[in-house]
Amino acid sequence: MIDPTRLKDDLKKQVTALEKDLHDRLKKEPHFAAPLKAKYDEAFQSKRTASTFIAWAEQEITQAAVAWVLATVFIRFLEDNGLIPDPILSGPPERLRLAQDALSHHFMQHPGASERDYLLHHFSELRKYPALTELLGPHNSLHALHPSPDALKGLIAFWRQIDPASGAVRHDFTDEAMNTRFLGDLYQDLSEAARKTYALLQTPDFIEAFILDRTLTPALREFGLKTVRMIDPTCGSGHFMLGSFRRLFALWLKEVPTAREAAVNALKAVHGVDLNPFAVAITRFRLIIEACHACGVKRLADAPDFEINVATGDALLHGRRFRDFEGDNATEMTFDTEEVFRDELKHHYEVEDVEALHRILGQQYHAVVGNPPYITVKDRAVSELYRARYPSCHRKYSLSVPLMERFFDLAVKGDGTPQQPAGFVGQITSNSFMKREFGKKLIEEYLPRWDLTHVLDTAGAYIPGHGTPTVILFGKNQPPVSGTIRTVLGITGEPATPAEPALGLVWQSILRQIDDPGSVSEWMSAADSPRASKLREAPVEYRRRWSGRT
């Protein structure tokens, strides 16, 4: 069985070792550095980045190091759980011997080959499985930079370490339930540099389930199982996508004759995008394993040709804009053709599958959910690209501002009538836009145009990993249909860290009071607060409570 903590601690050391190796290659090998410098120059000239080459290269090195480590994690999981027939890296004693023999045999067949050649050969072979074609394909960061043969020899040796106490291989991935939750932990903690750059943070299961209950579930009622599509535009390690797949799979099982067909149909309905390449790799792998397990597939060779709708890219830059707020009528704006958006298409990174991004971000969805990053953009060029595309960006804005605009933009647009229903939007995000000047335009000019239905103050709730005060927002992409917004506002924070976060006093109060306007508890108060066309026109009490000041 997997020991997530030990695995994470050991793999962080492997990432550091590969980063050091790539740094050394960058300094000592001109033929290695030249292509990387050329890629940077192209990105800089196309205004995709304003970072220095050193800072930009640091991110590329981290992504490549993590990608190589994760690729071997995927292989270890596949081989220990019998999803591929022959061991490649390691396994329990008898499988370990077979993996060692496979490496020796490869060297006999290919004199002069290295451990790096061995891994690249097997990556190519694994891509022949339809389920793994995209996972290990050209958009994976492992193809951007290759560590030295000696460094990868060390990575293979790491997987073959024997635990002296048990005499077994140190990391055994055998798991009858094929649970991939450990990959979410790796996503968050494998690289400190990546965690800071991308604000990596897993969404707890109870938050994910609550948001889906209030978005995907009513969307299914409104639009029907055969129609509904969901997207997480900042999908991270895929929690919302996996949760949606499980719900849709259970419903499809009642509609189709086989679990295979149910899994295929459920996968088609879930979509995700993330800026972080290794987040996308983790999400893709988790969905593959989840789908295989759901329909009883024991070997990848027997798996259906799953359609995995997840791609690396920037949901704020790629795809299509569906709303133009400058006029009274909503009009479609396409990044590809509008003059103001042409700079984005002058350059795409190798990890970006442009065709997939335009397909995923070129349509609207019946449920749009997520936990967007709570950071400000440090790269000046990227910040200006966002500012040009999202008028809600104001002063030194947080990413929560344009992403809120984009979340509503990606939801199916309705007109407030049963004949033209709107898509549902739900997200947990930082509440800083309510309290600081950069949120002024969003609050006064944009939120009043959407049917914002719920504002839930979660700043006092205990949400693991979420040190930033948060708020959960629900709404629909249509004009407001009532004069009030359901608000559940904090009175007192959690008195102590609960043993089970989902059972915290504040969180349980939110669950009880969200559908009980007028209720007041020791922890929260619920009310139907008046809506104003602009916040500056709202009563003083509404402004005070909405801004989070008590």
Give, in order, the Cα–Cα distances in Å from 139 to each of 61, 118, 133, 214, 283. Answer: 15, 20, 11, 34, 14
Which of 29-38, 196-205, 492-501 is predicted with the least confidence, judged by mean pLDDT?
A: 196-205
What is the reported pLDDT for 199?
58
Q: What are phi and psi of 470, to 5 degrees?
A: -125, 170
Give tens-digit pLDDT for 282-308.
999 999 999 999 999 999 999 998 999
pLDDT band with cut points at 50, 70 and 90 for residue 198: low
By 3-state DSSP, what share of the chain in percent is helix, strand and coil, each rounded to 5? 50, 10, 40
Q: Summarize the confidence of residues 466-478 as an average pLDDT.
A: 93
Q: Tell me the residue type at 352.
A: E
pLDDT band with cut points at 50, 70 and 90 for residue 264: very high
What is the reported pLDDT for 192?
75
pLDDT band with cut points at 50, 70 and 90 for residue 243: very high
Q: Tell me the residue type at 320.
A: R
Give tens-digit pLDDT for 390-439.
999 999 999 999 999 999 999 999 998 999 999 999 999 999 999 899 99
The pairing of beta strand 309-312 with beta strand 424-430:
unpaired
Q: Summarize the confidence of residues 133-145 as an average pLDDT.
A: 95
Q: What percent of the chain has pLDDT over 70?
A: 90
Give, in order, the Cα–Cα distances in Å from 302 to each of 74, 82, 154, 307. Answer: 18, 12, 33, 15
Q: Summarize the confidence of residues 84-99 as an average pLDDT.
A: 94
Between CA 209 and CA 315, with CA 458 as vertex, the angle to 5 degrees is 60
- Comparing C-alpha atoms, which of 71, 74, 66, 78 is closest to residue 18? 66
Residue 371 clears pLDDT 80, i.e. is over it: yes
Q: Summarize the confidence of residues 15-20 as an average pLDDT.
A: 96
Residues in the chain: 550
Long-range contacts, 106-112 (Cβ 8 Å, 24+): none
Tokens standing for residue 297: 């597939």
Give, in order, the Cα–Cα distances in Å from 200 to each of 78, 90, 303, 374, 375. Answer: 25, 30, 31, 10, 10
Question: Do residues 382 and 48 lie in contact, with contact meaning Cβ atoms separated by under 8 Å?
Answer: yes
In 10 A of CB 427, how many CB atoms? 27
What is the reported pLDDT for 184?
84
Tokens standing for residue 259: 């679990």
pLDDT band with cut points at 50, 70 and 90 for residue 347: confident
Cα–Cα distance for residue pair 4/269, rounded to 1 Å: 30
Question: Do residues 248 and 322 lie in contact, with contact meaning Cβ atoms separated by under 8 Å?
Answer: no
Residue 335 clears pLDDT 60, i.e. is over it: no
Tokens standing for residue 267: 């996968």
Question: Do residues 76 and 62 lie in contact, with contact meaning Cβ atoms separated by under 8 Å?
Answer: no
**CA 546 to chain CA centroid, nearest Å:** 28
pLDDT band with cut points at 50, 70 and 90 for residue 548: very low
Residue 338 clears pLDDT 80, i.e. is over it: no
Question: Do residues 249 and 266 lie in contact, with contact meaning Cβ atoms separated by under 8 Å?
Answer: yes
| 239-252 and 205-213 helices, crossing angle to 10° | 50
Q: Summarize the confidence of residues 94-101 as an average pLDDT.
A: 95
Q: Summarize the confidence of residues 532-545 as an average pLDDT.
A: 45
Residue 326 clears pLDDT 70, i.e. is over it: no
Q: Summarize the confidence of residues 180-194 as an average pLDDT.
A: 80
What is the reported pLDDT for 531?
84
Query: Is residue 94 within a helix (H) or strand (E), and if so which, with residue range?
Result: helix 93-109
Task: Give DSSP secondary structure letters for 64-81.
Answer: HHHHHHHHHHHHHHHHHT
Cα–Cα distance for residue pair 210/234, rounded to 1 Å: 18
E strands, 265-398, where?
Answer: 270-274, 309-312, 320-321, 333-334, 367-370
**CA 242 to chain CA centroid, nearest Å:** 11
Average model confidence (pLDDT) across the chain: 90
Cα–Cα distance for residue pair 266/253, rounded to 1 Å: 10
Give tens-digit pLDDT for 23-82.
999 999 999 999 999 999 999 999 999 999 999 999 999 999 999 999 999 999 999 999
Residue 535 clears pLDDT 60, i.e. is over it: no
Q: What percent of the chain has pLDDT over 90?
A: 82
Residue 238 clears pLDDT 50, i.e. is over it: yes
Residue 328 clears pLDDT 90, i.e. is over it: no
Cα–Cα distance for residue pair 36/56, rounded to 1 Å: 10
Task: Give DSSP secondary structure letters for 299-332.
Answer: SGGG------EEEES-TTTSSEE---TTSSS---
